[in-house]
């Protein structure tokens, strides 16, 4: 698939807490649905949300249309923006060395712009059901592109910061991955990464405005695999999952922690990359394909 750079995104009034990077701790979330009863209950919850919209008016987070958090037209736009997952590590300096060699291949569902950016930002503030469904579908597509047809893999979510969790009351990455995993039979989610608390000791404030070296220094040593989880990833092929890719420092730190625990890190997947792919990029190639390059 060919890579496509996007148009500038619409202006947003608030900064995204994860793009400003806080400080640390993951939360537990409901696991994947394992029975027809639970799936039915979730469908009923979605129907209840639609009925609630009749009593409590809502507007589309992208265009302002009435009655739904994400209108049909904007949902189609998100599908269009994410229909061709692409290799995104070339736009993340922490994932490339000075010679241009890929340190960690990453597949993005789309570029962080337009309806995709607005829906993701709104989801991270409120976690609406309709947004979770649409964004989870896009994330699942990127995981399929990254996983390819190779041996089974484990999806490892990046832990959210404690400040962001306290602000929202949930972890966006975990909720999106739970939604995406329903569409990915045979691919399991292994929630083993945790924050160490070291990130906040080195630098205060967010990452906005920091260069590559400063961002890398900020997150270095900030993650680890919990002791009881080491046996779940040792010798196992893993793909790291996050919501937004900026410099790649967070994914690089997650990969370091997993490598140290004995995992085989095959690459990363994100819902959106803040930089479009290079004009000569290679589309949605599997991370394994990049490893074969000299």
pLDDT at 32 over 90: no
pLDDT at 43 over 80: no
Supply the pLDDT for residue 146: 95
The string of pLDDT tens digits covering residues 133-165 is 999 999 999 999 999 876 789 999 999 887 878
Q: Which residues of 207-234 are buried (b: 16+ CB within 10 A; e: fewer)?
A: beebeeeebbebbebbbbbeeebbebbe
Extents of the domains making up the chain: 36-291
CA-wise closest residue to 111 among 74, 152, 75, 78: 78
pTM across the whole model: 0.73
Q: Can you tell me the mean pLDDT for 183-203?
A: 79
Supply the pLDDT for residue 269: 98
CB 186 within 8 A of CB 122: no
Average model confidence (pLDDT) across the chain: 78
Supply the pLDDT for residue 125: 87
Report d(CA 156, CA 202) in Å as an integer.
26
Supply the pLDDT for residue 20: 53
The pair phi, psi for residue 222, each rounded to 5°, is: -90, -5
């Amino acid at each position: 698939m060919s890579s496509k750079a996007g148009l500038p995104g619409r202006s947003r009034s608030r900064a995204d807490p994860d793009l400003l990077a806080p400080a640390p701790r993951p939360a537990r979330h409901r696991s994947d649905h394992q029975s027809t009863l639970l799936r039915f209950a979730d469908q009923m919850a979605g129907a209840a949300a639609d009925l609630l919209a009749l009593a409590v008016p809502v507007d589309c987070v992208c265009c302002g249309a009435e009655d739904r958090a994400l209108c049909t037209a904007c949902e189609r736009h998100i599908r269009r923006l994410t229909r061709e997952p692409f290799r995104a590590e070339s736009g993340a300096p922490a994932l490339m060395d000075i010679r241009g060699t890929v340190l960690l291949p990453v597949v993005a569902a789309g570029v962080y712009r337009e309806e995709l950016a607005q829906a993701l930002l709104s989801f991270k503030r409120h976690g609406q059901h309709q947004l979770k469904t649409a964004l989870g579908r896009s994330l699942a597509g990127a995981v399929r592109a990254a996983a390819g047809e190779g041996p089974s893999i484990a999806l490892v979510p990046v832990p959210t910061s404690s400040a962001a969790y306290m602000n929202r009351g949930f972890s966006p990455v975990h909720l999106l991955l739970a939604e995406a995993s329903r569409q990915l039979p045979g691919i399991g989610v292994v929630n083993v990464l945790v924050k160490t608390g070291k990130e906040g000791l080195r630098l205060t404030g967010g990452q906005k405005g920091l260069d590559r070296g400063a961002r890398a220094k900020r997150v270095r040593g900030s993650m680890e695999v919990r002791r009881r989880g080491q046996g779940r990833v040792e010798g196992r092929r893993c793909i790291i999952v996050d919501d937004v890719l900026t410099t790649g420092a967070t994914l690089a730190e997650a990969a370091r922690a997993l490598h140290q625990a004995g995992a085989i890190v095959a690459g990363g997947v994100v819902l959106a990359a803040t930089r479009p792919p290079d004009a000569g990029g290679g589309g949605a190639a599997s991370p394994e394909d990049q490893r074969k390059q000299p």
